[in-house]
Structure 1
Amino acid sequence: MVRQARALESAAEILDVETEEALRSAVGAATMLGPDRARALLKLSDEQLGHLFKIGIAQVIDLAGTITFGIAAAATRDRQPSRRAKQHAKSLARADAAVADFEQRALAERRALVAQGALLSAAEFWAALGITRQALSKAVASGRIFTVDVGAVQYYPAFYLTGDIDRKTLGKVTQRLGGLPGWSKWQFFTTPKASLGNTTPLEALSAGRPAEVERAAAAFAER
């Protein structure tokens, strides 16, 4: 919560007052979810969380206006509740459908990565590395290698086998990402970053710029 508050304060220069107050209210509302549910949201990547949050706002914005002015319209309550209930149900249904669609598209994209060989099963991975299952488990536990879930199955990024990137350096950068979810780590390594000259961290490592990538990883983990 302290980190979130600091993030809001640092953004105050670029947000108008109304937007900043709305954002603070949204962050405050997250505290009412309880720690487990709040942490569940933090497991989503920035792209997922932002996308789903915008969908939710878009679906309920009209309903929010209805609730705000509902008290003043008490004289028509004999007919309005049923309409509002229907509107609410439709809004929730649309939001659920949008979330389900997003999850289906994400799963399809992840399965495509498996089909392309960008993600490997545990057996394929340790065989390619020439290590035992126990050694692989130790590397994952230490944070030097991470996994991602595709459905109910865990996979390993094939870029750990890339010959033009030093594996120890790659492991050190992975450790810099700390306890972020696997797909957030994947996003870090494969997405171009302005701080790296609009190249991906993998490309920067291949170009021999490990110090820059480590700094970028530390900043990414602190967001």
Structure 2
Amino acid sequence: MAIKQYMRQLYEGLWPNNIVLKQTLALCPTLAVTSSATNGLGMGLATLVVIMLSNVSISCIRSWVTPQVRLPVFTLIIAALVTLVDQAMNAWVHDLHKILGLFIPLIVTNCAIFGRAESFASKNAPVPSLVDGLATGIGFTFALVLLGASREIVGQGTLFSHASLLLGPHFTWLEVTLLPNYHGFLPAILPSGGFFFLGLLIVGYRLVEQVRVKRKLSASAMSMESTS
């Protein structure tokens, strides 16, 4: 039963309750750092680590924190974890750290992290909270990589450029040139392109959701007819 529940949590975080495509949260880093799939992956993974650790930490201390001070305590925990992640990236993936810049410390202000801490981690045990953080982080990373990949392909004709900066030299095979001799389309990787491509992704997401809901309703109607 627990495994099914955790799998359901992962699915909910990835698609039906995706914090970017469904809830339209955390749009500042989503729009700012997704000029390439590699940048989106780096920011997504950093946020994933923070939200998992913060969920577990807050869940462990939830019975000791009074409601009056919970928000300052949550802020302090998240800020400390973001500082650790920021310093780790500066030490081990310095080039990518320079590209992401200020947006790594700004993970502290990510409303999705506070939202999961307040609505889930502060009310549940550590293991479900860990899974919830993993699900939310995977969904966020998926949205950032999808947006970054679409902007990078249109803007530069490449995919996962400079992936070795994030994952190491053994992952240079991810760096693909999809459109040789392509001169690029600059607006796609500018901030205005972020708004445009995010709008397209949200439209596509809602169209897919409409089809999914219609199929689910038709399947339930057919099952009811067969039982009657």
TM-score tier, shorter chain, comes to 0.3 to 0.5
Report the TM-score when normalising by structure 2: 0.35
Report the TM-score when normalising by structure 1: 0.36
Structure with more helix by fraction: 2
Select the structure of larger CA radius of gyration: 1
